[in-house]
């Protein structure tokens, strides 16, 4: 019975992945996107006003063979008062596809009001893409796998992205297109196998000081891409004593999540999130796990005492 359920889940995943390849790939998905915002909005680079680095791992739909698995590492920081620089590398594995993105980020930060700043950012990099169709079939009577002739082997394409990010002490809003270039990947028969499509991101949030020791931050992320459903993430997070965070999130028609984080000391923070699927896949997997580790170098005591909540 367990094997049958696994097979049914695998079939659903294959159908979902087929739509993924034909209609355009989705960018990496994160529940704790508020901690690696620079990955999809280059204007975020340098806005924390400290050197910041993060390593994040996501294991989606655990127990389902070929389910998405994502690893991300990013770092960024200010150079002077107006420039931010950053670097990001992301690896996505899903079913028969393996994709790696490497990006270099530049931002320019301006004072636009007494308390508000506007950052404009650009990024450039490379996308490396593989598809191994031999993972679909077990082989052929002739000892070879005919599907292998359609493999995509380490193809690469340039990436250019842009974004804007406005922020003050409590409020932020941003918009971005992580990759302006649309790229098609081809198999040996010159038929399109998969393609990079334009992704549009909009992010916003506000921090309420409920007391001297408790902060509350509702936030939202909207992602749109041609050939895929509109994705809306809504979250509500509390921070207690500038150390412990706890919250919940809802991904529209997809998943519900719990999020927690702990500021270990002035430099290190660790966080974890768990997703419950609300789609048909929920009965074939054990949910999704996501963990991150952040390291920051503060340049003055004020920022250590009162860390920014975004």
CATH code, domain carrying 284 = 2.40.160.60
* 305, pLDDT greater than 80: no
Q: What is the pLDDT of residue 6?
A: 47
Q: Cα(119)–Cα(78) distance, rounded to whole angstroms?
A: 12
- Give the residue among 278, 226, 270 at the shortest CA–CA distance from 249: 278
Q: What are the Cα distances from residue 253, in Å, to 188, 197, 279, 299? A: 37, 22, 7, 42
pLDDT above 90 as % of the chain: 62
Helices (H), 71-200: none
Confidence band for 218, pLDDT divided at 50, 70 and 90: very high
pLDDT of residue 148: 58
Q: Is residue 91 part of a domain?
A: yes
Number of domains in the chain: 1
For the entire predicted model, the pTM comes to 0.85
**Range from 18-27, 28-37, 175-184 carrying the lowest mean pLDDT:** 18-27
Residue 193, domain member (yes or no): yes
- What residue numbers bound the domain in which 74 lies? 2-305
Which of the two residues, 266 and 293, has the higher pLDDT score?
293
Distance CA(223)–CA(27), nearest Å, equals 9
pLDDT of residue 151: 73
Q: Residue 263 has which token pair? A: 């500021």
With respect to residue 148, please indicate whether it lies within any of the assigned structural domains.
Answer: yes
Considering the domain boundaries, does residue 105 fall inside one?
yes
Q: What residues contact 203, with CB distance under 8 A and at least 6 apart?
A: 33, 37, 41, 172, 173, 174, 175, 219, 220, 221, 222
| C-alpha dihedral (45, 50, 55, 56), degrees to nearest 10 | -60
Does 310 map to a domain? no
Residue 110 lies in a domain: yes
264 occurs within a structural domain: yes
Check whether 303 has a pLDDT greater than 80: no
154 or 222: which carries more pLDDT confidence? 222
Identify the helix (H) or strand (E) that includes residue 16: helix 2-23
Nearest to 295 by CA among 81, 101, 35: 35
2-6, 134-138, 181-185: range with lowest mean pLDDT: 2-6
Helix (H, G, I), strand (E, B) or coil at 283: helix
Who has greater pLDDT, 11 or 35? 35
Please state, rounded to an integer, the average pLDDT across all residues of the chain. Answer: 85
Q: What pLDDT shows up at residue 4?
A: 46
Per the CB < 8 A criterion, the answer to whether 294 and 52 are in contact is yes
Q: What is the pLDDT of residue 20?
A: 47
- Look at residue 140 in the predicted model and tell me its pLDDT: 47
Q: What is the pLDDT of residue 64?
A: 86
């Amino acid at each position: 019975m367990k094997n049958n359920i696994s097979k049914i889940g695998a079939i659903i995943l294959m159908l979902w992945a087929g739509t993924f390849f034909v209609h355009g790939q989705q960018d990496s998905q994160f529940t704790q996107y508020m901690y690696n915002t620079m990955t999809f909005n280059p204007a975020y680079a340098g806005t924390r006003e400290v050197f910041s680095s993060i390593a994040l791992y996501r294991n989606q739909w655990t127990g389902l063979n070929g389910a998405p698995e994502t690893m991300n590492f990013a770092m960024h920081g200010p150079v002077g008062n107006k420039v931010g620089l950053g670097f990001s590398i992301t690896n996505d594995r899903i079913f028969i596809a393996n994709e790696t993105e490497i990006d270099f980020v530049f931002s320019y930060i301006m004072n636009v009001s007494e308390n508000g700043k506007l950052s404009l950012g650009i990024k450039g990099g490379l996308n490396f893409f593989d598809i191994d169709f031999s993972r679909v079939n077990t082989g052929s009577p002739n000892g070879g796998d005919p599907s292998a002739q359609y493999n995509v082997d380490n193809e690469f394409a340039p990436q250019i992205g842009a974004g804007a990010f406005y922020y003050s002490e409590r409020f932020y809003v941003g918009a971005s297109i992580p990759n302006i270039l649309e790229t098609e990947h081809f198999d040996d028969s010159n038929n399109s196998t998969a393609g990079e499509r334009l992704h549009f991101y909009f992010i916003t949030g506000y921090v309420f000081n409920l007391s001297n020791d408790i902060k509350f931050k509702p936030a939202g992320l909207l992602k749109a891409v041609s050939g895929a459903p509109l994705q809306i993430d809504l979250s509500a997070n509390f921070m207690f004593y500038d150390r412990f965070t706890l919250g919940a999130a809802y991904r529209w028609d997809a998943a519900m999540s719990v999020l927690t984080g702990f500021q270990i000391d002035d430099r290190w923070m660790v966080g974890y999130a768990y997703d419950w699927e609300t789609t048909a896949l929920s009965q074939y997997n054990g949910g999704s796990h996501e963990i991150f580790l952040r390291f920051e170098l503060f340049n003055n005591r004020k920022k250590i005492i009162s860390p920014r909540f975004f």
